Structure 1
């Protein structure tokens, strides 16, 4: 690992802040939006892989704490900003859309690569979750090594409620974290679950009474990791990731192809309209 200039700490990010914790070797990454509820818009997806590549390359960093600013971790994908332009391009009934769907496939793979950068980072990542953690937020924390939560945290793999197949990693990575039955329940219903339920199924390791205690616990765990041999820690993470990430990569390829072919539907248009009108979607499988 060569020494670097620490660009993660000096780059003027739009959707993140990156700070050195008081404990040596620990970096703190905060999701900062700029959308409401730290929503994941275009800036987030462009910067996510850059942030974690910079942390991976920085010898001063041995562990990372990932958290959200404000009252929530993340309300997930900004559907309008990221996918809104596609709604009019994949026109129902058009005879040839190979070019558009190929481009959409590239967009999906780019989003997947952003989350995979978190899993690939050689420095262990501890996600500290408070408030809402929805959709893309769950994709993101599933790529972390350890998840801790505040009592007020609420989790949801919500994509089926938006007429979307979750395609950025939660369906692939959560199987090894919470097991098949709990994953299918969350993914097929799109239900919200509490921090207590998340702890029971193994989505989070521990639950803390308030945000301050949560962050203190995350920083303490990061400090424990940072005190160990960085070569041994990186090697341990690589060995733990080996089998999982090969299976994840295969699943990500499959779902990217699926959504490039089938994402556009009347149900998706209805889901977007329902979001704008703050009402439940009414779906007809078209």
Structure 2
């Protein structure tokens, strides 16, 4: 294990197999996301992008729940509140408030932009900005007692850090997404599984995290060039037409096919041995 990632609100460990385990660690605050938390998330996942020791990531949280959402105590006195007060005219205050929102967006989007696959393991409540976070991940698993709330309308705003953009593409049921967003009702783990928000459910947090780490280890055993290429191309193709995705893939693989991983993988398959791939 290595401890080269040191944060105040996150605990990060990296196994010898290349699996990074990131744990949101504000249990006394129910893992409410404050400025320090989202800043560290953005920094951490941006670093993962170019860290050859990391091949796959598991994201979980300490304590009773995944997250209670935005830290409202901080929000009450921070930039969110200040945008509606003071002597600055609306155009100027709005300009800087937009930049503040975009900083949070970029921090959460760093999860998606990181080409290393991210499995998020959700237990207990996942509220508000928590939905933004899990929507930016590749795979979502949850405990049977997990529940989800797109909470923003209950604090007088629209979700603005990724939920409204990513969730419709994850679930594929526009009517359900709109109903969940407009009502801010509680969505059970069983319903989340039924609509495709999560991929599987587990009886306990321990069993869920263990399963997520096992899946991450399997992914980490594959060619790192192949894995990061696959995530990159899936994300690109999601946001473009089929033709655009195919053309971009041809350009991408014109470079990626020069990897030494391909002959290693092919030879291992023929010889029925386990391939060993160098770091990215």
Band of TM-score, shorter chain: 0.7 to 0.9
Contact 1:14 1:34 in 2 (8 A): no
* 2:64 corresponds to 1:71: yes
Which residues in structure 2 correspond to 1:165-204 (within 5 Å)?
165-179=158-172, 180-204=174-198
Gaps (5+ residues) in structure 2? 242-280
Query: Residues 47, 95 of structure 1: CA spacing in aligned structure 2 closer, same or farther, 3 A cutoff?
Result: closer
- Alignment TM-score, normalising by the size of structure 1: 0.79
Could you tell me which of 100, 117, 135 is aligned with 1:124? 117
Residue 13 of structure 1: how far off its partner (Å): 0.3
Query: Residues 88, 234 of structure 1: CA spacing in aligned structure 2 closer, same or farther, 3 A cutoff?
Result: closer
For 1:81, the equivalent position in structure 2 comes to 74
Could you tell me which of 4, 12, 21 is aligned with 1:28? 21
* 2:229 corresponds to 1:211: no
Contact 2:18 2:220 in 1 (8 A): yes
Query: Residues 211, 18 of structure 1: CA spacing in aligned structure 2 closer, same or farther, 3 A cutoff?
Result: same
Residue 90 of structure 1: how far off its partner (Å): 1.9
Contact 1:225 1:233 in 2 (8 A): yes
Query: Residues 61, 11 of structure 1: CA spacing in aligned structure 2 closer, same or farther, 3 A cutoff?
Result: closer
Separation of aligned partners in 2, 1:163 and 1:197: 25
Contact 2:6 2:12 in 1 (8 A): no
* 2:6 corresponds to 1:12: yes
Which residues in structure 2 correspond to 1:95-134 (within 5 Å)?
96-134=89-127
Separation of aligned partners in 1, 2:88 and 2:118: 46
Query: Residues 97, 27 of structure 1: CA spacing in aligned structure 2 closer, same or farther, 3 A cutoff?
Result: same
Q: Deviations over 1:153-206 (max 9, x none)?
A: 111111111111000001100111112122111101101111111100100000
Which residues in structure 2 correspond to 1:233-252 (within 5 Å)?
233-244=227-238
* 2:216 corresponds to 1:222: yes
Residue 246 of structure 1: how far off its partner (Å): 7.1
Separation of aligned partners in 2, 1:224 and 1:91: 52
- Alignment TM-score, normalising by the size of structure 2: 0.80
Query: Residues 52, 89 of structure 1: CA spacing in aligned structure 2 closer, same or farther, 3 A cutoff?
Result: closer
Question: Secondary structure in 1 aligned to 2:77?
Answer: helix
Separation of aligned partners in 1, 2:227 and 2:98: 35
Separation of aligned partners in 2, 1:83 and 1:236: 41
Residue 88 of structure 1: how far off its partner (Å): 4.7
Query: Residues 114, 207 of structure 1: CA spacing in aligned structure 2 closer, same or farther, 3 A cutoff?
Result: same
> Which structure is larger by alpha-carbon Rg, 1 or 2?
2
